[in-house]
Chain A
Amino acid sequence: MTPDAVGPHGRWGVTGALVILTAPIIVLYGWLLLASFSVTITGLVPHGLTLANWRFLWQTLPNEANAWVAAGNSLTFAVTVAVFEVLVGAMAAYALSRLTFPGRGLFLGSTIVLHSFPSVTLLIAIFLILRALGLYDRLAGVILVKLALDLPLGIWIMKGFFDGVPWDVEMAALVDGYSRIRVWWKVMLPLIRPGLFAFAIFAFLSGWNEFLLPYVLLPSQGSQTLSVLMASLSGEERFADYGLVTALSVFYILPAVAVFALTQRYLLRIFSGGVKG
């Protein structure tokens, strides 16, 4: 489809239609931003402006984790998840795309079956297993669980990237005596770098937002992530300080929005094969 298909008048019509459809989102986030700087707010009308809602930036809230420490934990969690998901997933995806071995179809089929397990109902079992492995209440344990739960879909997506690389490139390297692992690292990965980059961004965002896993499996305050701090602040409905909660929400969403806005041009590649050029 092309921008010129509808002409200049049509383009205004299209923009207008999109603005109307998008209005609820604009209002929702506009409200959040306004509320974070208001003493109280009714609808979209703020009453009294204040910076006090943002006090978590320069002081630790009583009985809560420090917001910057929590942000650091979230960052560690999200970056580690993204890096390992790409590495481990890309290895498995390469094997599934390029090698024949017994159980290949079974593996691909069973990852889809696993997707239909609601991860929340697995929590009891995951808790028991983590405890047995001595990984309960440790950041490493939550990272491993998140990796395990997200890898099946990641492998499927990255298999698509490898499927899109022509065979002759790889063949030439193999005939030249490259080992499989060297072909994977030196030849294949650089070719699908745009797709891997896009996938890493999505994995990062998913890790940044993860709530349930750290909430259940990482109860200690020192290793609390932003999402858990958020839930803790907004939990006690009647006593919640909504100005504070909305300010912390903006603080929490902002990095994710920035990452997405800066990279969204490349993110479409994840669904269009991810191969360069």
Chain B
Amino acid sequence: MGALEAAPAPRRRGAVRDVLRGAASPVLFLGPAVLLIAALFLAPAVVTVVISLTNLSVATGLTHYRWIGVANYGQIAHSPWLVLVLRNTVLYVAATLVLFNVGFALVLAILTAHLSERAAGVFRVLWMLPRITPSVILALMWRWFAAEPPYGTVSQVLGLVGIPGHNWMNAHPWAFVVALNGFVGASFGMIIFSSAIAGIPRDQYLAAQVDGASAWQQVWRITLPRLRWPILFVTAYQTLSLLTSFEYILLTTNGGPGFYTTEVWSLYAFHLALSNYFGNTQFGLGAALAAVLVVLGLGASLVYLRVFRFGELVAAPRIEVN
């Protein structure tokens, strides 16, 4: 098809072989990836949905479970904690996203763009540290950071100016959870925004400077408009990441303090499906919660994809050579 038609027509036997090879190429190239993803990502996803239709738990074992239809979903809908957990999830995702993953990331990217490459590199490495620090360690560091006197650093520093110390994680669990996750998440947006800013032609800024535009005006008039798509991408991608990530909450407040104060949807699913205080881990119910989370994520994706013009992203190659 396409441009190769301009080349001399191959002999007949060659044409047959070309067609065969044309069909073989996608299989050859995609085969390994498709096999892996199908066996160890897609299949588990399907199995999870299937499990959600059973009462599979530690008590039933892998042999004595029953099919119970959508009863797990009914239980979720009627759960007295539904509203609380949903509210927590929205608060967690929205606050972390707006304040840190996009907000802080933008501030960092714009500020570092004004520094020399070397100085900017130092700050980038510092901000990447939480991302490349294993979650177990980072959670430990933040717990000590916020600990009560005499151990906590925050209490010690604030003590110097006479503010009484206490355990800041327990006193302000939401601020703690959002800050911890935000300090990890900000670097993703920072790097994407930085590279987008680096791609803006320098002359635009020079021209603006000649016209006497202030630094603030340059940011507002030149930089931000060019960052529209990167901002949308970070928002969409990080919404899904935040919806499904709970490792740091698990390793710090574990949904508390008190009853379900910082329990988000994915942590709720984890608690029911993999670590239950009552010793009877409910795989079925946990799987149903995971499935609902996927629907929430899909809803968000569909909205974002529409804004993103997904059609353009997956548009077929313009010229095809087979």
Query: Using a CB–CB distance below 8 Å, which chain A residues touch chain B?
Result: 1-6, 10-11, 14-15, 17-18, 21-22, 24-29, 31-32, 35, 41-45, 88-89, 91-92, 94-101, 104-105, 107-126, 128-130, 133, 144-145, 147-149, 151-152, 155, 167, 170-171, 174-175, 179-181, 184, 205, 208-209, 211-212, 226-227, 230-231, 234, 245, 249, 252-253, 256-257, 260-261, 264-265, 267-269, 271-272
Contacts and interface: CB of A to CB of B under 8 A. Distances in A.
6 contacts: A89-B33, A91-B33, A121-B286, A147-B40, A180-B21, A211-B136
B195 A18 contact: no
B interface majority secondary structure: helix
A31 B155 CA distance: 14
Contacts of A122: 41, 44-45, 48, 290
Contacts of A119: 244
B47 A128 contact: yes
Interface string B213-239: 001001100010000000000000000
Contacts of B321: 98, 170-171, 174
Given A18-B108, A125-B43, A212 B126 contact: no
Contact of A17 (B111, B196, B197, B314): B111
Q: Which 8 residue pairs are nearest across A and B when measured between Cβ atoms?
A: A116-B297, A43-B156, A121-B290, A148-B40, A118-B244, A95-B29, A92-B33, A125-B44
Contacts of B319: 167, 171
A230 B34 contact: no
Contacts of B300: 116
A94 B273 contact: no
A158 B243 CA distance: 25
Nearest to B113: A1
A1 B33 contact: no
A26 B194 contact: no
Interface stretch (B68-76, B77-85, B91-99, B143-151): B143-151
Size class of the B contact interface (CB-based, 8 Å): 35 or more
Contacts of B269: 118, 121
B171 interface: no
Given A1-B200, A112-B305, A256-B132, A152 B41 contact: yes
B215 A6 contact: yes
Contacts of A116: 240, 243-244, 293-294, 297-298, 300-301
A24 B301 CA distance: 33
Interface string B161-205: 000000000000000000100010000000110111111101001
Contacts of B246: 118, 120
A121 B270 contact: yes
Contacts of A148: 36-37, 39-41
A209 B114 contact: no
B191 A22 contact: no
Contacts of B219: 1
A104 B315 CA distance: 10
A22 B51 CA distance: 45
Contacts of A42: 150-151, 156
A10 B215 contact: yes
Contacts of A6: 114, 215
Given A25-B130, A126-B44, A144 B317 contact: no
Given A25-B126, A43-B157, A227-B136, A265 B244 contact: no
Contact of B209 (A5, A231, A252): A5
Contacts of A130: 40
Contacts of A11: 114-115
A227 B135 CA distance: 9
Contacts of B67: none
Contacts of B30: 91-92, 95-96, 107
